[in-house]
Amino acid sequence: MKKTIWIIFIAFCLPAYSLAGHLEPFRDVPIPEYNPQTPEKVELGKKLFFDRRLSGDGTTNCGTCHDPELAYSDGLEISLHYPTTRNWRNSPTLVNVAFHKYQFHDGRAATLEDQALFPMMSAFELNQNLEYLEEEIRSVPEYVEEFTKVFGDGDTTKERIAMAIAAFERTLISCDAPLDRFLQGEADALSPDALKGYEIFTGKGKCTDCHFGPNLADDKFHALQVPENPEHLTDPRIAATRRFVAKVYHFEEYRTLDEDPGRYLITKDPKDWKAFKTPTLREIAKTAPYMHNGIFATLDEVIDFFNTGCGEGNTVLKPLQLTAEEKEQLKVFLVEGLAGAPRDFTYPKIP
């Protein structure tokens, strides 16, 4: 019975896309062979996702920065942090995260399994010792029983913890949005203004140059010269985090670093200086503020930024010359057209 429900869920969330513009079809949620998806594993991952044992002081969990009510973002400029520290980047939405080729704003993780462990052991996020976490989870009989059902024995390794969380995250799908129905042939799925916005999105606005496919993202990194937040530059805790991360990634001048190098810290390729991953646009109305540092509070600010050709020194985009009416229509499309069908969510009972 559970297997049948799982198949129905997946089928509901897999709309067929037309090849209009750069929008492409997809038939399945990517599932790696080494971590097959089962309802039991998803439920275990869901419990772990919301379990405060994942943090060093037992006060926070993955859901702290990835709230289901905010499309699994947190509504803050930069993520929440471990006491006495500050984070330095915005919490990206986890909606449709299963489709990302790279994880995090700088793409430092290639899989959800790898990604899941980073925030847990980060000194300025959950600040948990992963070896200790294994023992914390192993001390809970209910977890040992669930790990046995899912993995064949009760060994609560950090790798298995990450596999379960990744399985849960692969179910966080936004689907059956007006755009999906429109591309399936429902001509009136988009309102008149949203339809005009769609035409701008796929035409004059050049949005589909980077936002296409089932996730409306190109899995690439672009240096748009997003402005630094002046307030963040004067916070010594953020400066400490910035220098710490740069040191970890062997940036020689980490002590004098006063901006976010983006993808460059990972690749050391000059073209990646201040380059960040193209985000999905799914559920974008719920995921403000925007950009890697939350510098833009509203979609209007984001649209204005792109309309003017992005930041000074950017070589990726040129001014779009959208009129006030066209900008408003584009926003209507983003807000109305990319909002998926409502889905019920029930928080798990943590053992």
pLDDT by residue (tens digit) across 118-161? 999 999 999 999 999 999 999 999 999 999 999 999 999 999 99
Q: Does the structure show a pLDDT above 60 at 261?
A: yes
Over the stretch 298-333, which tens digit does the pLDDT of each residue have?
A: 999 999 999 999 998 888 899 999 999 999 999 999
Q: Is the pTM of this model over 0.85?
A: yes
Contact 201, 193 (CB under 8 A): no
Over the stretch 186-217, which tens digit does the pLDDT of each residue have?
A: 999 999 999 999 999 999 999 999 999 888 99
Q: Which tokens go with 316?
A: 């990726």
Q: Is the dihedral of CA 38, 39, 40, 46 positive or negative?
A: positive
Cα–Cα dist 111/264, whole Å: 19
DSSP 280-306: P-TTGGGS-SBSTT--B-SHHHHHHHH
Q: Does the structure show a pLDDT above 70 at 6?
A: no
- The structural domains of the chain, ordered by start, are 30-169 (1.10.760.10), 178-226+274-337 (1.10.760.10)
Cα–Cα dist 2/4, whole Å: 5
Please compute the mean of the pLDDT values over residues 24-44 and round it to a whole number: 86
Over the stretch 159-189, which tens digit does the pLDDT of each residue have?
A: 999 999 999 999 999 989 999 999 888 999 9
Q: Does the structure show a pLDDT above 70 at 11?
A: no
Please compute the mean of the pLDDT values over residues 62-68 and round it to a whole number: 96
Confidence of residue 23 (pLDDT cuts 50, 70, 90): low
pLDDT of 10 reads 42
Q: Look up residue 255 and give its DSSP letter.
A: G
Residue 222: helix, strand or coil by DSSP?
strand
Q: For the chain, give the mean pLDDT.
A: 91
Share of the chain above pLDDT 90, in %: 83
Q: What is the CA radius of gyration of the chain?
A: 21
Q: Containing H/E element for 277?
A: strand 276-277
pLDDT of 27 reads 55
Q: Does the structure show a pLDDT above 80 at 14?
A: no
Confidence of residue 24 (pLDDT cuts 50, 70, 90): low
Cα–Cα dist 336/263, whole Å: 32
